[in-house]
Structure 1
Amino acid sequence: MIVSAGRNETFPFANSIGVGLIESTINLTKICLFNRPEFILFVGSAGSYGKYKIFDIIESKSSTNLELSFLQNFAYTPLDNAVKIDTNLTKSEIVVNSSNYISIDKTISKEFLNYNIDLENMEFFSVLSVAKEFEIPAFGIFVVTNYTDENAHKDFVKNHKAAMEKLFKYLEDKNIIKAKEAK
């Protein structure tokens, strides 16, 4: 089953699960309870902490939920804030961070790289957490739309359409979707 966030990122071949950590968790859990998929592929956009460039396509099976306050030593959590799905669906070891907030401070954002975290997507931690709970193989495919800096939203909006076209092409080239499904 292919899933995406929704709102700006809806696809004819994907089930929309909602934006952010909470909506995506609730809606994907409902799907898994009532129509359990054999696998989950999350597709969508991501912001780069600096290592990857705009329009790069990245696969991942690992996510974290680290907030900027953690990086600044203003917070801690007793919760497990990292999840990895052991799957042969992708070999990628790239880690995607998830939060309900978009990072816009380049200096602080670059600190994620010190933790070997390269990208930011609001839903991916939820997707992998639900998949792990239900023991469903899962991974994500992301297209970079912006850097996590003061221009994050403006660049996301500017690059979104072209990024989605590149994502469609990647999914077609990998035979994940057929050309007619992308329309």
Structure 2
Amino acid sequence: MKRILSLLLFSFTCTVLFSQNYNVPKDYKFVIAEDYKTYEPQIKETMEWLLQTSLGQDSKKRQEANAFFIAWLTGEPDIKVNIHPKVVNFMDGNPELLIPFMIGWSKYALDNNYSKDNIAGNMAGIEATVTFYRKNRGYLKQDKNIEKYEKLIEKGNLEKEIKKNLK
């Protein structure tokens, strides 16, 4: 029990410290393709901060970080996130879950040489969304679609479900 409490305290402390040290880039400009590559370290830090920081913390910073991420993703020439309504089926109840989905896909693409694998991108997006949902249940509406994805991940059936939904 002491070990679990110690791990929880350590995790909370790391999250608080990470949150305090993150600064949203200011005066960024995306004009040419190379601009997007130049900002990759900041975009990775932003994506991590957005996923790790509770919806109840730093709402102004979250808005600025979301804007930076969307500005980057919108013009990034090598990453295209596909939003298929049968996969991203949680938008009606919790539209704020779209950002974690896009972050998960983008992180996957960046970590895998700008992969264009639609199945893997969707899986990474759903996994990031489910993790974010778990951490922020108190700020989100209950969502049966996300909870179904939780069960599919636990059973190892997410890929099969995504392939079915993309047909």
* Structure having the higher Rg: 2
Higher strand content, 1 or 2: 1
More contact order relative to length (CA 8 Å, sep ≥ 6)? 1
User: Which protein has the bigger helix share?
Assistant: 2
Q: TM-score under structure 1 normalisation?
A: 0.28
Compute the TM-score of the two structures, normalised by the length of structure 2.
0.30
